[in-house]
A and B are shown apart, each in its own frame.
Chain A
Amino acid sequence: NAGVTQTPKFQVLKTGQSMTLQCAQDMNHNSMYWYRQDPGMGLRLIYYSASEGTTDKGEVPNGYNVSRLNKREFSLRLESAAPSQTSVYFCASSEAATASYEQYFGPGTRLTVT
């Protein structure tokens, strides 16, 4: 099992460019999440998907969109990148049915917007 995979691992964008961060999990989890990690601010939730076909805003959704393509995949799109979106982005998944509620994280994407 690969767990949670993310692509790309690194990306540099110019202000105004767009891109999509890809995330996939092979653990058959219902719930998936996108976080951003900034120094001194911990992990902040951008969007989440409680189950296939549903998405909801988290704490910092402005400037982002998401798509839950199927149960495995959950992508994050930046339509017009801004320097304030320079961050490390993590995708995570979890499954309530296991009763552990542990989140499994991908390796992260370091995004720099110049």
Chain B
Amino acid sequence: AQTVTQSQPEMSVQEAETVTLSCTYDTSESNYYLFWYKQPPSRQMILVIRQEAYKQQNATENRFSVNFQKAAKSFSLKISDSQLGDTAMYFCAFMGFTSGTYKYIFGTGTRLKVLA
């Protein structure tokens, strides 16, 4: 069975600094997708970034980028120039194909606080 592990329950970073959130996963599939979702205090889940496993190039979205290491099954999120609005819970998610359908597995989340 697939698993997703986020080993950092809480992190903090100074405004304008860079922070990296860790995520590891376990799967026997060769093709899958990985996601980082942000959940601010409003509770709304928002997609931050997506990575397709067959693409070697790391995904980037403005200040957000990932370090995808397929062999190590690692998918970390780097936030550059952190802003107060980045304060949120961040979830790493894996999507694979099982029994003819696709399912998502979420990690337990990392609570990030950006300090002024």
Q: Which residues of A contact B (CB under 8 A)?
A: 31, 33, 35, 40-45, 48, 50, 56, 58, 88, 90, 92, 96, 100-103, 105, 107-108
Contacts and interface: CB of A to CB of B under 8 A. Distances in A.
B92 to A, nearest CB: 9
23 contacts: A31-B102, A33-B104, A40-B108, A42-B6, A42-B91, A42-B108, A43-B106, A44-B106, A45-B103, A45-B104, A90-B45, A92-B45, A96-B102, A100-B50, A101-B33, A101-B95, A103-B35, A103-B45, A103-B93, A105-B44, A105-B45, A107-B44, A108-B43
Nearest to B105: A45
B108 A102 contact: no
Interface residues of B, number: 22
Interface of B: 4, 6, 9, 33, 35, 42-45, 47, 50, 91, 93, 95, 101-104, 106-109
